[in-house]
Structures are given as structure tokens and as C-alpha cells.
Structure 1
Amino acid sequence: MSTDSTLSVRTFIEQNSAGFVEDLKDWLRIPSVSGDPDRAGDVRASAEWLAAKLRATGFPTVEIWETASGAGLPTVFAEWPSGDPDAPTVAVYGHHDVQPATPLELWETAPFEPTVRDGKLFARGASDDKGQLFFHVLGVRAHLAATGRTAPAVNLKLIVEGEEESGSPNFAPLLRDHAERLACDVVVVSDTGMWDRDTPSTVTGMRGLIAAQIDARGPSGDVHSGSFGGAIPNPITELVRLLAGLHDENRHVTLPGFYDGIVELTERERQLFAKLPFDEAAWLRTAKSPAAIGEAGFSTLERIWARPTAEINGIWGGHTGHGSKTIVPSEAHAKLSFRLVAGQDPAQVRKGLEAWLAERMPEWIEYELSFEGEGVRPCLTPLDHPALQSITRALGRAFADDPDGERREILYTREGGSGPEADLQDVLAAPVVFLGVSLPEDGWHAPNERVDVANLLKGAEAAAYLWEDLAGNK
């Protein structure tokens, strides 16, 4: 931070925290549920609220973008040029839509009437993702106040989606349509969290995803098992036998080429994962599971963060009602999903599944294989990437007792789930780094979603430090 600062970042944030919380409450009162068609007007009102707030903050360019099809929900774009000819360009991604609040009876306070209790702000969207996106507004104000600048040290762009909680169906086309305006050197995502209150961390990658369905047919209709059973193919039996071979005895996935080209964990990454205070017994209680199992040779955290998986999400067919119905069913169905890691391509996994089925499905069973879209690509930022190091320094400074003294150690995690981050990485051809401060207990998508106000303010502080660090870290 500049030596001629007239007001420190931390002091500015403390002095403006009350107004920040009140503004955030106003935004949280808007029920911007993208998955409910009846709330489309509220999603638009949310975009307009944010656009007005960004203009008032000082962003000279603020626009509301419609989806290419015109049938989707609005995205907010804002831009604030640095004015420095060599300044890097940073795009911040977040979303302003929220999950439905049902079941309402499980909320202790109304989901769209924000309430602060014991230092936590309760409301739908408090942590996912309005709170974590909004701390950037306070952060850029603190950055300007502390440095005396009239514009950020970086060329700052915001892209705030309105359909993330509905699967981002229009986001990739929107990125492609506006790729020139969104061009940047790095993307900062504030839609993740940290390990826990005492262990600040940053995410370095997210897994990809491809989902499929198998529809198998034996006889052309259900027939009597006493008359025909044991003498004709049963599609449920054949499908179950086939799916039992999806993993080998070491729980490796058996699709051809499934592991080709994947980015293996480095020894340093494995050591850093091991430094996290992971309580497997507590994790198993959260997982509602009696045991932790998985691919041989890897820890639980490595399996859920850095290894690809194949899961049978559902299987059905034949009679499933009360009592017995002794038939050989005509059809069997299964839903599968594959979580992917860096180096894997959804298209290649799709080809592998097609080849695997063609080789193993008995010739007397007719089947169809279908996929849910093109899949989501994984993303990963190497630990030595300069932008990731800037994130680490900014967080280490924000979470230190003295921001000008020794920085707090920041550990690294990954996300086992999937999101639109890979689209940002692929379309914009820029690395993705994560600045999130939500805690595991914040209850994303659940009743009584909340966010720790002190942590939000730490997020704003880290953002304020980040822009100057990135500007000097070319």
C-alpha cells in the first residue's frame, strides 16, 4: 500500500462497516430466485439495484446485459479503467441470483428480511453470493481512500450473473458474445469459502462434470417371470452387471482413457492438503456415511478435490410399488455422473463412455445413451502462479493481527463441485483465482443461510490489498 496513504484500509472499512451492512440488507430483501419463473421480475430488480450501487460507487461504465436468446435473466457488467497504461486487467465474477428459500417453516427468521444475530447476517443470499460479491464494493472504496487514487490500480471489471443458481444455461454464450469487452489478465471469483474461521484459505481449482443416462430395453413389454424368466434377457440384471464393472477392485474407473492426461497431484500439494485440520470422523457425520472409501492410494480430501470420479446417481426399472409383481421388465434406466479434474475433457470422457458401453453391453439388449449438455470443464491454477500468490498475500495481510506486520499463513483447498469457472477460464483465456471468505457452517442453499459479518469485512480488506498487489505483480 502506498506510503502516502491518508487513511488505512482497515480503518476505512471499520468506519464504513455499518453502512455496508445496511446496503447489503437492502439488496438481500430482493428475492432474486432465478429458478422460479414468478421471480423473474425480482431478479431484474436485483440487477438494477446492483447497477445503481456500482454507479454511485464510481464505476463509470455500468450496464445490464441480456442473454443472447433474450429468454434468460440479466447479468450486470461494470468497468473502471485504471488510467495507468501498464495496469493489468482484472475481472471479478459473482452472481446476484439466489436459491429458493423453501422449506420456509425451517427458517428462524424470514429469509428475505435480513437479520443480524451474534455477528452473523441471516438471509437467503447472505453468503451465496450477494454478500461475497458486495464486499468488493467496500473493498474498492477502501483501496481508493487508502491510496489517494481516483481510480483503481488495476483495470477493474465486474461480471455478475443472474442465472448461476439455475445452472448458468446462458452464461457461456454471453461470455463469447462479450469476450472482447471482458478481456482480462486474471479472473477473481468470490463464490467460494475458506476452510474454517481459524484457517483462512483459498481455492485453487474446481472439478468439471459430465452427466449421462442409459436407457436399456430387453423384451418389448413386461412379461410373466414364471413363463419366461431365466430364458430371456432381463435388462435390469444386465444393466446392474454392467455398472458393477464401472470400477475395478481398487475403485479405479474402467472407462478407456479415463485417466489419460490428468494433472497429477504434486508432493507439495499433498503436503499442503495434509496440513489442513481435517477431522474425518466429523466429515463422515456430515456425509451421513459409516465409512470413507474410494480410489486406492489417496486420502479423503485428495479423492474429493483432485481425483476424477464416476457415480451411479440413480437406477430404476420394473415394478417398484407395493407387493410383488413377478415380471421380467422390458426396460431399465440409470443416471451417471463423472467429476473431472484438470487435464480431462468432457468430450473425451463422453467418447470413453460410449466405447465402454458398446464393448460391454450384451448384443441382445438395445440401449440409448444420452448426455445433459456438453459438460463442464475443470479448472486449476498452479500454486506458483503470480495471480494466486497475490491472492495469498492479500488474504494473509487481511487476516493478520497487524496488516503491516507478519502475514497470516494461507492454506490451499480445492472445490469438489463444479461451476461456471471453467467457462470463464476457457472463453476469456485467463487464469481463475478465488477470493472467498464464507465458512462451512454458513448454510448455502439451506434454511437459515448466514454469513459472518467480520469475515465479510476481511474479504473487503483483502480485495482492497489485492488490486495494488496485482498492479505491482506483472
Structure 2
Amino acid sequence: MTTERDFVADHRDDLLADLDAWLRIPGISAQPDRHDDVRRSAEWFADAARRTGFPTVEVWDDGPWLPAVFAEWRSADDDAPTVLVYGHHDVQPVDPLELWHTDPFDPTIDGDVLRARGASDDKGQLLFHLLGVRAHLAATGRTSPAVHLRYLIEGEEESGSPHFEQLLATHRERLGCDIVVVTDTGMVAADVPSTVTGMRGMVSATINLHGPDLDLHSGVFGGAVPNPATAVAELVAALHDADGRVQVPGFYDDVVELTDVERELFAKVPVDDAQFLQVAQSRALSGEAGFTTLERLGARPTAEVNGLGGGYQGAGTKTIIPSDAFAKVSFRLVADQDPAKIINAVEQFVAAHTPDGIATSVDWEGDGVRACLVPIDTPAYRALTDAISAAFDGAQVLPTREGGSGPEAGLQHAVGAPLVFLGVGLPDDQIHAPNEKVTLSMLFKGAEAAALLWSGLARVSARGLRG
């Protein structure tokens, strides 16, 4: 009987052919004139799932969301746990087009690298799952997976998943599961297998400050009335202390701290600060004192000023006291921080730092998203890391944290099941940027890990997966 690795190796051309066909569809969810292409992308993946053997495949377009794909393949073992695989088939815009070295929708292979928009984020990672299912069946001799498999492939993730919660509510009865496997992340390096153990949440807002009802001559009124531009500068300067800690009262009250074991494992992750600075094109590190770069990036909450403005911005001088000023801010959150509580605390902080004569308002970009956390002492996590380790010839699998934010916590809350992350993207894949690429050998290892994972999860009871 063939092994999972042998099957993947023998069917690499299948994955490459599917990638070439799917990546040619410019399903950019952020651009309305590409929404027909988003539909074509959903239909393409639905057909690929049927070809793989999924007996139930549906394109969900029965709401305000762009088309999503649902696929289900029940195990012949009725008491098998149910696994929901989450990913997305839409892609980012390609602008600026002139910075691409190749056509973003004409996949180009150079050695072990395939370059196209969506190659890593997220089409390549979804296709390794389809190959992984086939490898799982071939290696085990089964005619159905060892777990009840469900796929939910979203079509709006690259636009911020604006209707995802509605989609989840509409189809909640179809999405019940014991564990969610997210396949929209990556690893720290090609030779360092790792898995994400948390994604940060976020709230963001524009803080508006209004002083006089019109711009005033600074010679006539300066020094005698409050200046909103000065006030906004003082406000954002007060966000952090000298050690980089956020000064919003109660900001850290609910933060789940890293355990000693997690910090020991994080310390094994090879992060080169000099290389990090080179990628960031920055000349210095910064952030909360007492934490490493990796810990700051994924395991600690932050406050960032994303934009600042007010008053005259043109050439030369215009000596005024401006009527208005603003700051755009965002707060990345970690596990157990409640976006609603942070919103309330920030509003109190703004009020406390508003001088007399200045009126402030805080306009929030929605209700925010929660962070999610993967405990590393669970049977689900061990099954995942065992599968990844086997695909990487027994190497230790290290935990990392994802600094960005996504809909995963909302999905976890909606289905009431824990998460694990199986992703094989690399830091230099240039997702969201020109010249996005994927390393093909990583996709093949991802397919092998997925094939092994279904057998590993099947050995854990549904109750065991849920903890």
C-alpha cells in the first residue's frame, strides 16, 4: 500500500495543473467589477471538490456575501469526530501592477517557486488539502475519510469578511464540528516547521478633535485658545509610557500571559532581529519592554497610530490655529481581551485627555474582532503537531503567534469548537504585495500533513477534541 508521502509525490502534477487553472481567475473581492470572477472562483473550487470525491458540494450565495463554498464528506465511521476546514478563495488586488515581474494572473514557475496572486494566500493552501484527502484515502485504503470532513471556503476574507457572521448564522446547522482547522497561515521558515497558536483581535477608530469653529490667525489668537492639533499630539503621545506599555486604564486586565513553557518554545523559533529590521526597512526595534520581537508581534496587545492630521498641509506656511484635527488608531488584542471593554476604556482615556475647549468624538470601525488562542496541551494540538512533524521528517514543531487579525475567532465562537492552524506559507511569500509566490515543496508537505492529520484526529474522540 502506498504511503501518504508517496501518493503526494506521484500526484504533484495534479496539484500544479489545478493551481495553474485556478490562479488564472482574478477573484478580487475588494473590486466590484471582479465579483463575477469571485463567483467563477467559487464554482471552480466547487468543481474541484467534486472531482476529489466530496459527495456534497454547494456554492452558498443566498445572502449579501460573495459566493462561498461548502463541501462535506462524511466518514463511514458514524462516531468519527467532525472537522471543519476554513479558508478563503478570494484574493487581494494586484496594484501597483507595474511592480510585478510577471503577470499576476499568469502563473509562472521558477524552480521550486510558483508566482501569482493567490498562490500562497489562499488558493495554494486550499489545494494541498484536496490532494491531502486523496493521499489519506490511498494510504489508508478507505473509501471515505477517517473523520467527517466539512469545508467552508469564504469569498470575502480579503475584504475584511464583512458578511461572514451573517453567513455563519444563516448556515449554522450545517457547520457543527468538533474541531476547526484553519489553513490561511504559515510557518516561520521552510526548514523550521511551526504552527500558529493564536491570532490577535483588533478594534480601530478615528478620533476627531474640534476646537474653534473656524481656523484662526495664530498671531491674533495663538496662546489664548486651545489648539486641536496640539491636543491630538498630546493625546497620541500619552498612549504609551517610556517602556512601551499602553496607558489606557484597564488595557491589560484580561490579557492571557504567555506561560513559561510557551516562552521557552518561542525562544527556539529562529528570529533574526537584524534580518527582521531589513525586511521592515527600519533602523531600530521598538515596543513593550521585557518581551522579544516574536512575543511582541503575536502575543502582546498593541496601540498604534495609523494616521495623524489637522490644519494646513500645503506648501509654505499658513499661520493658523486649525479648527479640527484627527488621529486614526488601532488596537491589536490578545486572548480574553473583550473588544467592547477596550472600546469603552479608550473612550474614557480620550475624555480624560481632552482639554477644556476641545470637543472629541470617537468613530469606531465596527465592533471589532476578538483574538483566538490555541492551547498547546490538548489532544487536538498534539495530533496536529504529530502530523506536521511526520511531514517534516520528525522535526520538532514550534508554536508561533499571528500578529494580524481575521475572522477565525468569530468562526470559533459561532461553531463553539476549538481551532488549530495548518498553514505552510512563508514570511517572504509577499502576500498582499506584488510578486506573491508560494514554495511548491511546502505545498507538498502541507498535503502530506493534512493526509496524516485526518487519521490522527480520528484517534481522538469528539469529546477529547473539544476538551
Alignment TM-score, normalising by the size of structure 1: 0.96
1:435 to 400, 422, 436: 422
Equivalence for 1:395: 388
Q: Give matches, 1:332-343, under 5 Å.
A: 332-343=325-336
Once the two structures are TM-superposed, the CA of residue 83 in structure 1 deviates from its matched residue by 2.1
Q: Does 1:416 align with 2:411?
A: no
C-alpha separation in 2, matches of 1:185 and 1:74 = 25
C-alpha separation in 2, matches of 1:275 and 1:210 = 31
Specify the SS of the correspondent of 1:247: coil
Equivalence for 1:65: 60
Equivalence for 2:153: 160
Specify the SS of the correspondent of 2:11: helix
CA contact (8 A) 2:200 2:372 kept: yes
Q: Does 1:223 align with 2:210?
A: no
Equivalence for 1:247: 240
Specify the SS of the correspondent of 1:246: coil
CA contact (8 A) 1:67 1:73 kept: no
2:249 to 243, 256, 279: 256
Return 5+ residue gaps in structure 1 as ranges. 1-5, 401-406
Equivalence for 1:355: 348
Instruction: Report which stretch shifted further, 409-418 or 359-368.
Output: 359-368
Once the two structures are TM-superposed, the CA of residue 67 in structure 1 deviates from its matched residue by 5.3
C-alpha separation in 2, matches of 1:369 and 1:310 = 15
Once the two structures are TM-superposed, the CA of residue 445 in structure 1 deviates from its matched residue by 1.4
Once the two structures are TM-superposed, the CA of residue 179 in structure 1 deviates from its matched residue by 1.4
Instruction: Report which stretch shifted further, 317-326 or 277-286.
Output: 277-286
Instruction: Tell me the amino acid that sits aligned with residue 288 of structure 1.
Output: Q
Q: Does 1:444 align with 2:407?
A: no
Instruction: Tell me the amino acid that sits aligned with residue 26 of structure 1.
Output: A
Once the two structures are TM-superposed, the CA of residue 77 in structure 1 deviates from its matched residue by 0.3
| RMSD of aligned Cα (Å) | 1.0
Q: Does 1:50 align with 2:37?
A: no
CA contact (8 A) 2:216 2:321 kept: yes
Q: Give matches, 1:56-455, under 5 Å.
A: 56-66=51-61, 68-69=63-64, 72-400=65-393, 407-455=394-442
Once the two structures are TM-superposed, the CA of residue 20 in structure 1 deviates from its matched residue by 1.6
Instruction: Tell me the amino acid that sits aligned with residue 411 of structure 1.
Output: L
Once the two structures are TM-superposed, the CA of residue 49 in structure 1 deviates from its matched residue by 0.7
C-alpha separation in 1, matches of 2:220 and 2:102 = 61
Instruction: Tell me the amino acid that sits aligned with residue 413 of structure 1.
Output: T
Instruction: Tell me the amino acid that sits aligned with residue 332 of structure 1.
Output: A
C-alpha separation in 2, matches of 1:363 and 1:226 = 21
Once the two structures are TM-superposed, the CA of residue 363 in structure 1 deviates from its matched residue by 2.9
Once the two structures are TM-superposed, the CA of residue 339 in structure 1 deviates from its matched residue by 0.4
- After TM superposition, what 4+ stretches of structure 1 lie above 3 angstroms from structure 2? none
Equivalence for 1:33: 28
CA contact (8 A) 2:82 2:148 kept: yes
Specify the SS of the correspondent of 2:283: coil
Q: Does 1:8 align with 2:17?
A: no
C-alpha separation in 2, matches of 1:363 and 1:223 = 17
CA contact (8 A) 1:212 1:336 kept: yes
Equivalence for 1:20: 15
CA contact (8 A) 1:127 1:442 kept: yes
CA contact (8 A) 2:28 2:91 kept: yes
Once the two structures are TM-superposed, the CA of residue 24 in structure 1 deviates from its matched residue by 1.4
Deviations 1:407-460 (A, max 9, x none): 221111110110111111111111111101111121111222111111101100
CA contact (8 A) 1:24 1:134 kept: yes
CA contact (8 A) 1:261 1:344 kept: yes
C-alpha separation in 2, matches of 1:278 and 1:440 = 11
Q: Give matches, 1:455-466, under 5 Å.
A: 455-466=442-453
Once the two structures are TM-superposed, the CA of residue 106 in structure 1 deviates from its matched residue by 2.1
How many residue pairs match? The answer is: 461
Deviations 1:72-110 (A, max 9, x none): 310000000112121000000111101112222222221
C-alpha separation in 2, matches of 1:428 and 1:334 = 36
C-alpha separation in 1, matches of 2:82 and 2:42 = 23
C-alpha separation in 1, matches of 2:441 and 2:51 = 24
C-alpha separation in 2, matches of 1:14 and 1:90 = 25
C-alpha separation in 2, matches of 1:136 and 1:59 = 12
CA contact (8 A) 2:228 2:358 kept: yes
C-alpha separation in 1, matches of 2:320 and 2:359 = 19
Specify the SS of the correspondent of 2:238: helix
Once the two structures are TM-superposed, the CA of residue 117 in structure 1 deviates from its matched residue by 0.8
CA contact (8 A) 1:79 1:155 kept: yes
Percent of aligned pairs sharing the same letter: 59
Equivalence for 1:403: none
C-alpha separation in 2, matches of 1:207 and 1:313 = 17
C-alpha separation in 2, matches of 1:311 and 1:231 = 31
Deviations 1:245-298 (A, max 9, x none): 111222211112111121101011111111111110110111222111211211
